[in-house]
Chains A and B, each alone.
Chain A
Amino acid sequence: MAVNPLSLESLSPAIAEIWLVAAICIVLMVDVFAGERRRGLTPTLTLLALALGAALTVRYGEVAGRTLLFDGLYLADELGWALKLAGFLVVALALLYSRSYLENRGILRGEYYVLSLTALLGIFVLVSANSLLTLYIGVELLALSVYSMVAFDRDSGVSAESAMKYFVLGAIASGALLYGMSLIYGLTGTLSLSEIAARLHGPAGPGVILGLTFIVVGVAFKLGAVPFHMWLPDVYEGAPTSVTLFIGTAPKIAYFALALRLLAYGLGGAVGEWTQMLAALAVLTLIVGNVVAIVQTNLKRMLAYSTIANVGFIVLGFVAGTPEGYSAALYYTLVYVLVAAGSFGVILLAASKGFEADRLDDYKGLYQRDPMLALAMMVLMFSTAGVPPFVGFWAKLRIFQVLWESQHPWLVVIAAAMSVVGAFYYLRVIKLMYFDPPSGALPPTARSTGVRFALGLNALAVLVLGLLPGPLLDLCARLIH
């Protein structure tokens, strides 16, 4: 691992962040001068900026091996590169799905797009962090952007309430994380993750375990693992659906990276300790998430509990404590993000002016009203339930496999049983859409061709990646090793 002196060429691995900062300024300025009448400009410009950012990252951002930049504060590796590309894609997808929803609610404002971009910048910073400080800056940049997005519909009391809740609980989580980091810093005398990894070996002392506990709590809060999940259902339900889509997808990539960089990499020396903590969290998360999801009547809230359940699986990947396990968790995260983007996209398309389409009953007979939307949702639901031929199956299979390899038979049994419980509420959505007649007069679903095309591609990707899972599995394995 080389620490490069600062030069223009050496900055190229950070091209994604640099471009994003520039793009944020451009979008902000253009939005200010475009005025009310050319509102359409900002969304288009943002999507262009994301596309260009992805192109630049592909062209200049790829690095071989691991390179440290900016005095070792910043780590450029292939994993970060790939996660950033995924981030560009997911945020673009989220913004694409959201546009008509925002328009219908009169909150199609430039700030929304700017905040999305700053959140993405936070994700990037987090993904590439090699120092506790960088990590924390990334976490906060992401979190603060997202808090404001949740409160974006300022006339909605529910949104404001959930933003408040999110902010307060998020602040506690950040506090716990920061406190844990400070303990680790005190014990090792360094902020650099690679230095911490080098200095922490042998059996972990009580100080390290204390610091570790706070860090695990912080990470669990961010991920939404039980018992630190309380914020998640309220925020998912209360936030405007477009924001729910946003926080349900891109930040998951970031928090995966947070767990990986902090626990697996920096605190890799204490792997025996934190895997035990995570195992307990995972079991609780799987059970609470799946069981509580059954009784929900609000689709957004149900998907929130489904998120919790899925986070349980991601955590199980970390429980294995091996590179195989981390790659399984990475695969699960990417698959989950793809499917979640689609599921919330369906809600956004089903909603219209004055109609949120967030109750489960709003999906009764969706097939009769909009076959394409129903088909996409069915694919996504079967995928989350883990039924082949959809990609969600492979994600679960991979987790089972690493649990067997790391000799956790009971976790396999619990995870298997909980997937059956989970199947029930996903099936219920399909039942409502396909088996029930439509109830009453519901407003028609959105008809914008471009967005439908994107959603169709999203669902198709779930199928194709399910039929041929090899390349993505290989990629995830390569990124971790």
Chain B
Amino acid sequence: MPHPLSILIWLPIVAGLGILLLGDRHIVTGRWLALIASLATLALTVPLWAHFDTATAALQFPEKLPWIPRFQAYYALGIDGISLPLIVLTAFMTVPVVIAGWTVIESRPAQYYAAFLIMEGLMIGVFSASDALLFYFFWEAMLIPMFLIIGIWGGPRRVYATIKFFLYTFLGSVFMLAALIYMYVKAGDYSIASLQALPLTLVEQRWIFLALMLAFAVKVPMFPVHTWLPDAHVEAPTGGSVILAAIMLKMGGYGFLRFSLPIAPDASRELDLLVIALSLIAVIYIGLVALVQQDMKKLIAYSSIAHMGFVTLGAFVIYEIVRATGSSHGAGMGLDGAMVQMISHGLISGALFLCVGVLYDRVHSRQIADYGGVVNTMPVFATFMVLFALANTGLPGTSGFVGEFLVIIASFRASFWYAALAAVTLILGACYTLWLVKRVVFGAVASPRVAALEDLNPREFVVLGALAVAVLVVGIWPAPLLKVMQPTIHHLLTQAIATKL
């Protein structure tokens, strides 16, 4: 298949535009078109994975067309071991979103599906761009559909939430843009490879690192620029929350791995404690904040921030490992852990938001207090919910375990205290997640509304079932995932601990 990446990017976008043109009047056709397009995109990632050469860190399936000759900017695509899993995750998570909106979205459904499909294409574009300008183009363009999704189909405070979301992300991004342009002026082109190879002094690296970090930290989100996330999650429709948690947050982590570490290795080494400290604050403090939430979505949102703390911790703990042991041996585990954690969190948080969506569609409340004893009326749903909750706490056998375990092991190499603090999440995570499950799922039937609940319909069962399988597969047999990433992680580690000075 020629140009697989271009097809992956443009197929959903074109389908989305098609649905937009069909309009709300032909929404039955539009809905099926959305499902077919998202399934086709997912299907197309299979040959991508199958033909992916796991022996090299080089960019694969490259495409290169002149785009803006004046800036030496190309429409250049190519993927390696860290972009491939994220692309597959994107394609995988869009399908449940389309299915979850099937009967729920009543106002402007055509635009709803169009927005999600266009966003899918743009997100795949972010992960597959090998030209920094193209990357930024996709990165920013993606804000528009998300802004509309939260603003149009969101909850009561949607306007506040969506504008906050947009402005936070935009603030981070413009400084990243400024940094990218600065490097372009020095390097003469926008290819990510030449930005990574660009020699930079420590002062330059420091500023560039901070500018990039602002953009990525907002997206991850890291403490203290995380406040947009709970608002956005609470107000977004279910599908929006899923995509936000499952994919959009990963872009921050991806940015750290793709840009910050290789472009500014010396600044990363110098400022690693800053990132590690913020990550540990996210893990512990935000974990405590999650504990006291009354709103299910808010709780999962805070849990997301805590879990994403592991991603940044794993990425930057490598410098502490080198500092403590004098060798990079075992540092790759931190990066491995960061990547696996991203994939796993994408699946689990997406699944949890879908679970909340299932309840919300029936009861129209997200308050924990309105529930209780759901297991009595919805046993199948309760099974799924408990499974995802346990995965969220990092139970062995689920994907949540692999990522956290790898990161904690890596932190041990650096310092006992990092590992000890990071491991607090195992307790806190269990506390807030299991307490949530206890209050919502178990106990006596709390209200007539809960008593009237009906269990999962086949549509919901398929969605949650697929996610459950994915969570278990990654948890029990993560080897294929690690194998795909291995050469790239190795290469990334070399780049990250080399010095540019």
Interface residues of A (CB under 8 A from B): 382, 387-389, 393, 397, 400-401, 404-405, 412-413, 416-417, 419-420, 423-424, 427-428, 430-431, 434-435, 468-470, 473-474, 477
Contact = CB atoms under 8 A, between A and B. Distances in A.
A413 B175 CA distance: 8
Contacts of B151: 430-431, 434-435
Contacts of A404: 178, 181-182, 185
B163 A416 contact: no
Contacts of A393: 137, 140
Contact of A388 (B70, B136, B147): B136
B177 interface: yes
A430 B147 CA distance: 10
Interface in B319-367: none
A274 B269 CA distance: 43
A420 B170 CA distance: 6
Contacts of A400: 177-178, 181
Nearest to A416: B174
Given A388-B137, A474-B70, A405 B185 contact: yes
B168 to A, nearest CB: 9
A388 B140 contact: yes
**A417, A424, A430 pick with most chain B CB within 10 angstroms:** A430
A468 B69 CA distance: 11
Contacts of B141: 387-389
22 contacts: A387-B141, A388-B140, A389-B137, A389-B141, A393-B140, A397-B181, A401-B71, A401-B184, A404-B181, A404-B185, A412-B178, A419-B174, A423-B167, A424-B163, A427-B147, A431-B151, A431-B163, A434-B148, A434-B151, A435-B152, A470-B69, A473-B71
A401 B137 CA distance: 16
A427 B178 contact: no
Nearest to B138: A388
**A404, A412, A434, A435 pick with most chain B CB within 10 angstroms:** A435
A416 B170 CA distance: 10
A416 B215 CA distance: 13
A470 B144 contact: no
B395 to A, nearest CB: 41
Interface in B132-191: 136-137, 140-141, 143-144, 147-148, 151-152, 158-159, 162-163, 166-167, 170-171, 174-175, 177-178, 181-182, 184-185
Contact of A435 (B68, B158, B184): B158
B140 to A, nearest CB: 5
Nearest to B184: A401
Contacts of A424: 163, 167
B70 A434 contact: no
A473 B178 contact: no
A405 B183 CA distance: 11
B70 A416 contact: no
Contacts of B159: 431, 435
Interface string B11-27: 00000000000000000
Chain A interface main SS type: helix
Contacts of B171: 417, 420
A387 B144 CA distance: 8
B106 to A, nearest CB: 15
Nearest to B143: A387
Interface of B: 67-71, 136-137, 140-141, 143-144, 147-148, 151-152, 158-159, 162-163, 166-167, 170-171, 174-175, 177-178, 181-182, 184-185
B17 to A, nearest CB: 12
Given A420-B174, A424-B163, A387 B140 contact: yes
B109 to A, nearest CB: 14
B481 to A, nearest CB: 32
Nearest to A393: B140
Given A387-B141, A413-B178, 16 more contacts: A387-B170, A388-B137, A401-B71, A404-B185, A413-B175, A416-B177, A416-B178, A419-B170, A419-B174, A420-B174, A423-B170, A424-B163, A427-B147, A427-B167, A435-B152, A470-B69
B385 to A, nearest CB: 32
Contacts of A474: 69-70
A473 B178 CA distance: 19
A419 B170 CA distance: 9
Contacts of A419: 170, 174
A112 B136 CA distance: 45
A382 B144 contact: yes
B174 A401 contact: no
Given A389-B141, A400-B177, A470 B68 contact: yes
A417 B152 CA distance: 27
Contacts of B167: 420, 423-424, 427
Contacts of B158: 435
Given A388-B136, A404-B182, A473 B174 contact: no
B181 A401 contact: yes
A419 B167 CA distance: 10
Contacts of A428: 163
A477 B151 CA distance: 40
A419 B172 CA distance: 12
Contacts of B185: 401, 404-405
A100 to B, nearest CB: 27
Nearest to A386: B174
A474 B136 CA distance: 21
A476 to B, nearest CB: 9
B112 to A, nearest CB: 13
Nearest to B171: A420
Contacts of A387: 140-141, 143-144, 170
Contact of A423 (B67, B166, B177): B166
A397 B166 CA distance: 19
Contact of B70 (A405, A412, A427, A477): A477
B152 A434 contact: yes
Contacts of B170: 387, 419-420, 423
A388 B152 CA distance: 21
Contacts of B162: 431, 435
B491 to A, nearest CB: 30
Contacts of A423: 166-167, 170
Contacts of B137: 388-389, 393
Contacts of B70: 470, 473-474, 477
A430 B174 CA distance: 20
A138 B300 CA distance: 64
Contacts of A431: 151, 159, 162-163
What are the 3 A-B residue pairs with the smallest beta carbon separation, nearest first? A416-B174, A435-B151, A470-B68
B67 A470 contact: yes
B442 to A, nearest CB: 38
**B67, B181, B185 pick with most chain A CB within 10 angstroms:** B181
A472 to B, nearest CB: 10
A473 B73 CA distance: 13
A255 B57 CA distance: 53
A385 to B, nearest CB: 8
Contacts of B177: 397, 400, 416
A231 B146 CA distance: 38
Contacts of B184: 401
